[in-house]
Amino acid sequence: MTASRTVSRPSAEELVVFSGEDGKLNVLDAFCRHMGGNLSQGTIKGNEIACPFHDWRWGGDGKCKAIPYARRVPLRARTASWPTLEQDNLLFVWNDPQGNPPPEDVTIPVIEGATRDDWTDWVWYTTVIEGAQCREIVDNVVDMAHFFYVHYSFPTYFKNVFEGHTATQWQKGVGREDARPQASQSGVAKMIGNTSVAAYHGPSFMIDDLTYHYEDGDVDSVLINCHYPISENSFVLQYGIIVQKAEHLPDPEEMARKMGDFIKIGFEQDVTIWKSKARIDNPLLCEEDGPVYQLRRWYEQFYVDVDDVTEEMTERFEFEIDTTKPNEARRAEVAANIAARASS
């Protein structure tokens, strides 16, 4: 790839993404430090990007490598550059307001299916959300009640664990008969349910390891749900899907597209709510709601300097709902309960 393009990021800064002859992807401040030319409109020359204004050449390390009309490059001719990671056919950019390199223990994990021949390629969707703060989408990770209404799934098991920089959600669900992609999957057996392990690795990148259970076998898929803020009240939402080419699945690519379209409908329903809702910092919750406060306490660690991250934000917290247990409850437990209460 030798094309370059502009990506907007918080504080209305713009970035340029380019790769030179060495094939490495680089991310720089889009505006040339010389006179402000937009490098995303420039050209690739060797391993550098050349400004369209005066042809200043910038390397992926942020250093000015050459000025064709000058005898020498000024000392300290540098622009801002961002560390990048290429993995699973995705490009990650590390943004640290304190300017530190990415610590090893926060690296996004590898998604095995993404580079396997027996899985589909990524199907990606990008949408700009105006009039909503990106905290709204993160809240979804604890919001059980909305699964039934928005995602047409009925969870029988639900668990959240927040620890360190990750927030995980386990879910076992039964598809609602009235609305699910299984109804439109011609030639595919009836879907019995799904198992999902979804985790935020940091504030904005969620991997959902999602398995659909059909009468004739399982189909594995991975859904990425990620975002970056543009301002306090707008963000870019992106989601991508890969599906395992299971033998009993006639058209995995079609399934990936259908899942994408289905998820898109779900997000659009969320967005409609977000655009007209108020920001609630002290939600009034009933006992059946998820751990919204505890999630926000975890989320707060990404809005303070690293030195100000407290144990309270990163300590392990678990929230579990198991609706299968009551049916298996042993009568012995009841007897013990009665005995214990009688003796107290």
Q: Which of 121, 163, 216, 268 binds another protein (CB under 8 A)?
A: 163
- For another protein, which stretch binds (CB under 8 A), given 27-35, 191-199, 252-260, 265-273? 191-199
Q: Counting contacts by CB under 8 A, is residue 296 touching another protein? A: yes
Which H or E run includes 320?
A: strand 317-322
Q: Counting contacts by CB under 8 A, is residue 236 touching another protein? A: no
Which H or E run includes 191?
A: strand 191-201
Q: Which is nearer to another protein, 183 or 336 (CB)?
A: 336
Do residues 52 and 37 touch, judged by C-beta distance below 8 A?
Answer: yes
Q: Counting contacts by CB under 8 A, is residue 243 touching another protein? A: no
Q: How many residues does the chain have?
A: 344
Which candidate, 212, 199, 147, 136, places its Cα nearest to that of 170? 199
Q: Which of 145, 303, 306, 308 binds another protein (CB under 8 A)?
A: 303
Q: Counting contacts by CB under 8 A, is residue 320 touching another protein? A: yes
Q: Counting contacts by CB under 8 A, is residue 209 touching another protein? A: yes
Q: Counting contacts by CB under 8 A, is residue 192 touching another protein? A: no
Side-chain-side CA neighbours of residue 175 (13 Å): 17
Q: Which of 91, 145, 183, 285 binds another protein (CB under 8 A)?
A: 285
The nearest distance, CB 333 to another protein, in angstroms, is 5
Region at 249 (left for phi over 0; alpha for psi -120 to 50; beta for the rest): beta
Q: Counting contacts by CB under 8 A, is residue 306 touching another protein? A: no
Give the type of residue at 339: A
Q: Counting contacts by CB under 8 A, is residue 105 touching another protein? A: no
Distance CA 228, CA 128 (A): 10
Distance CA 119, CA 113 (A): 6
SS3 string, 206-268, reads EEEEEEEEECCEEEEEEEEEEEEEEECCEEEEEEEEEEECCCCCCCHHHHHHHHHHHHHHHHH
Q: Counting contacts by CB under 8 A, is residue 128 touching another protein? A: no
Q: Which of 170, 193, 236, 309 binds another protein (CB under 8 A)?
A: 170
Q: Which of 79, 120, 168, 194 binds another protein (CB under 8 A)?
A: 168
Binding site for another protein (CB under 8 A): 10-11, 109-112, 159, 161, 163, 166, 168, 170, 197-199, 207, 209, 222, 232, 281-285, 287-288, 291-294, 296-297, 300, 303, 311-313, 315-323, 325-331, 333-334, 336-337, 340-341, 344
